[in-house]
A = this chain, B = another copy of it.
């Protein structure tokens, strides 16, 4: 084994499944395991056989993996029982997985208080369970729970537990900071102390939690001190504050520290996709600020930054975003000038002569609108439509000639509270005039429902358009009656696209309509849909 080879162990499906609000189905687990296999992760911990039906289903019929080794998790034998007579260990033996991971205590205080077991018996439980399982599986590991707290309290005992597991046949002993309270320098010093005592680093793993915001740093410190296996989860899933985020650990190890983590040649460049796909599967909005893979991770705002990045990316980028499958993003904002707008135009594929008068028109229009309260920084789709309208053309898919929304709250004859929103709209699509009415749970929802009622028959592409977030802000709160309202709407479709649009008006319903109009237009325009009739092919004036 080369000294720079670090093994990766993914626990998204086991420790990550403890995340509050996360609930993997068996097909979810199979799909995620296969994505990790394609990436080239060494070990995939699938779950805990016997703990729940999902994990039983996974280990009864595991997904085919080409490269990764599937691991089943369990506990060391119970106190006062032999290993080959322990129901938990038997469930592990029967699980269709080449690797078994056995968790056990390594903190004497924990043995006594949480388990009610004497430390000597705990050490026998570790040794006998690992020895038994080593005869049954291709590979076994020992998860040393609470290792760092245990080491601080009683270094000799914690070290003895690790040594017992390795002597009994464990391929790896994994040092777990279960409560997440250890700091990186402590982790580094303790690992170095173990290695100095003769425990080989290439049989030690590290498993950190993020309770001090240091899970990634502690994992790196352990590797620098000798550990050659790193455990973590995709996007840092995990209970409380999460586990070490492998999506951050991997590029740090490979690009900055020169380690080989065994990924396939194109594995690194898939990180952004793997991260976002997991979020999609869990119905979570990806964190735009995530290191390496977030949408904003390589975003540039200030005009000065932007012009410097264009001179030489090293000026403001710590790595080439393409290495992890991400891309540079130029933001438009009132702090930005011409260079931001130009870079943003190139990004959306509008190649224009920097000196063309239309560019000045876009810059002026963005400034004017941001002064009025628009925020194009967070609403890329509205910026793109604005720019395309000024530079070229955007089809006018529909035009609303009027709307009226009625909201009521009253008590009916039986004394029940009735709240009702009803929208009546008049719209022109192509050459046809439409009038319709719809209800919703609130005025914007009613307006949206009425729009869909007239638009869907003409534009079936809108069937999977969903509004996933709706935010309202009053921009001049101190000028009460003259206040302007900004509405941001985030939309999504079934292909996983997400886009944000903005509307501004003194009237919140009108601002919402403006953002809604942009959202629908963006969806149709991106899908290459033509406007309903050629007679309506005018540039939208809005």
Interface residues of A (CB under 8 A from B): 18-21, 23, 25, 27, 51-52, 109-110, 113-114, 149, 178-181, 183-185, 210-214, 216-218, 220-221, 224, 236, 239-242, 245, 248, 251-252, 256-257, 283, 288-292, 294, 296-302, 308, 311-312, 314-319, 331, 334-335, 375, 377-378, 400-411, 419-421, 441-445, 466-475, 477-478, 480-481, 483, 485, 490, 505-510, 513
Residue among B184, B469, B510, B513 making CB contact with A217, cutoff 8 Å: B184
B residues within 8 A CB of A474?
469-470
Cα distance A224–B183 in the bound complex, in angstroms: 12
Cα distance A316–B176 in the bound complex, in angstroms: 13
Cα distance A215–B485 in the bound complex, in angstroms: 35
Known pairs A402-B409, A419-B510, A471-B471 / 18 extra A-B pairs, C-beta < 8 Å: A20-B299, A21-B378, A23-B377, A179-B317, A183-B220, A211-B292, A212-B251, A216-B217, A239-B299, A241-B294, A402-B410, A404-B409, A407-B407, A407-B507, A419-B507, A421-B509, A442-B506, A470-B473
Is A181 a contact partner of B480 (Cβ separation < 8 A)?
Answer: no
Cα distance A300–B211 in the bound complex, in angstroms: 13
Interface centre among A183, A375, A442, A480 (most CB of B within 10 A): A442
- Say whether, besides A212-B291, A318-B181, A443-B443, A472 and B470 are in contact (CB < 8 Å): yes
Is A478 a contact partner of B21 (Cβ separation < 8 A)?
Answer: no
Tell me the smallest distance from the CB of A342 to a CB of chain B, in Å.
18
For this chain, the copies found in one complex come to 2
B residues within 8 A CB of A240?
289, 294, 296-299
Nearest B residue to A236, CB-CB: B289
Is B185 a contact partner of A221 (Cβ separation < 8 A)?
Answer: yes
Nearest B residue to A318, CB-CB: B181
- Say whether, besides A211-B297, A213-B216, A217-B214, A315 and B469 are in contact (CB < 8 Å): no
B residues within 8 A CB of A312?
113-114
Cα distance A240–B309 in the bound complex, in angstroms: 14
B residues within 8 A CB of A224?
185
B residues within 8 A CB of A485?
441-442
Is B471 a contact partner of A283 (Cβ separation < 8 A)?
Answer: yes
Interface centre among A210, A302, A409, A474 (most CB of B within 10 A): A409
Residue among B18, B210, B216 making CB contact with A291, cutoff 8 Å: B210
B residues within 8 A CB of A445?
481, 483
Pairs of residues from A and B, 3 with the lowest C-beta to C-beta distance, nearest first: A181-B318, A217-B217, A402-B410
B residues within 8 A CB of A184?
184, 217, 220-221
Tell me the smallest distance from the CB of A522 to a CB of chain B, in Å.
18
Tell me the smallest distance from the CB of A316 to a CB of chain B, in Å.
6
B residues within 8 A CB of A406?
404-407
Nearest B residue to A467, CB-CB: B480
Is A473 a contact partner of B471 (Cβ separation < 8 A)?
Answer: yes
Tell me the smallest distance from the CB of A330 to a CB of chain B, in Å.
11
Cα distance A406–B149 in the bound complex, in angstroms: 60
Is B294 a contact partner of A212 (Cβ separation < 8 A)?
Answer: no
B residues within 8 A CB of A401?
410-411
B residues within 8 A CB of A403?
407-410
Is B214 a contact partner of A301 (Cβ separation < 8 A)?
Answer: no
B residues within 8 A CB of A218?
217
B residues within 8 A CB of A315?
110, 113-114
Is A214 a contact partner of B211 (Cβ separation < 8 A)?
Answer: no
Is B443 a contact partner of A508 (Cβ separation < 8 A)?
Answer: yes
- Say whether, besides A407-B443, A410-B401, A291 and B27 are in contact (CB < 8 Å): no
Tell me the smallest distance from the CB of A456 to a CB of chain B, in Å.
15
B residues within 8 A CB of A480?
466-468
Tell me the smallest distance from the CB of A255 to a CB of chain B, in Å.
9
Nearest B residue to A20, CB-CB: B296
Tell me the smallest distance from the CB of A241 to a CB of chain B, in Å.
5
Is B51 a contact partner of A283 (Cβ separation < 8 A)?
Answer: no
Residue among B114, B181, B408 making CB contact with A402, cutoff 8 Å: B408
B residues within 8 A CB of A213?
216-217, 245, 248, 252, 291-292
Is A404 a contact partner of B408 (Cβ separation < 8 A)?
Answer: yes
Tell me the smallest distance from the CB of A56 to a CB of chain B, in Å.
14
Nearest B residue to A311, CB-CB: B113
- Say whether, besides A220-B183, A471-B473, A508-B443, A239 and B407 are in contact (CB < 8 Å): no
Cα distance A67–B297 in the bound complex, in angstroms: 35
B residues within 8 A CB of A420?
507
Residue among B18, B178, B301, B400 making CB contact with A301, cutoff 8 Å: B18
Cα distance A302–B257 in the bound complex, in angstroms: 36
B residues within 8 A CB of A211?
291-292, 297, 318
